[in-house]
Amino acid sequence: MIVFDLGCDNAHCFEGWFSSAEDFERQLGQHLLSCPICASTAIRRLPSAARLNTGKGGREAAAGAAQAQDAATGQYANFDAELMQKLISRIVENTEDVGRAFAEEARKIHYQEAPERHIRGIAGPQEVEALREEGIDVVALPVLPHLTGNTH
């Protein structure tokens, strides 16, 4: 088993566990990998530090590294995972998925060129920034792949 640090085009970081480096390359090439937070399939392998098992402080060091990783990514700390999953499920059930047309659709709704409704979709960091600069409220949520119909 091999563990790689991965990231998506929305700057979300996560781990992937593979049977081999070749298995990772195969899944990446077949677009079988997706971000567990936003479901983006634009995945890349991130640089990672080598792990040395010195026998001293192994668990504490690993825990510290995991906490540092969480702090560095700035993703949804100190929340109840079950409550967050219920919240996200409710949002998915009560919104229209407009996919990669999210920014365009959000603008149409904001400028009253389309009927007002609750939407969700995929937008890159630059698109989100531009929407916010236009006064359009946007919230990023980690949507689990099984809620979007994506199995990976």
pLDDT at residue 93 tops 80? yes
pLDDT at residue 49 tops 50? yes
123 shares a domain with 106: yes
Domain range for residue 60? 2-73
Residue 121 and residue 97 in contact, taking contact as beta carbons nearer than 8 Å = yes
58 shares a domain with 85: no
DSSP designation for 143: -
Band (52; pLDDT cuts 50, 70, 90): very low
Say how many domains are in the chain: 2
- For residue 78, the model assigns a pLDDT of 55
Q: Which of 51, 73, 95 is the last residue of a domain?
A: 73
How far is Cα of residue 110 from the mean position of the Cα atoms in its chain? 25
What is the pTM assigned to this prediction? Answer: 0.45
Q: Which of 73, 90, 106 is the last residue of a domain?
A: 73
Q: Which amino acid is at 20?
A: S
51 shares a domain with 12: yes
Question: Mean pLDDT over residues 16-44, rounded?
Answer: 89
40 shares a domain with 102: no
Question: Mean pLDDT over residues 94-107, rounded?
Answer: 91
Rounded Cα distance, 31 and 20, in Å: 17
* Strands laid side by side in the 13-18 sheet: 13-18, 2-8, 43-45
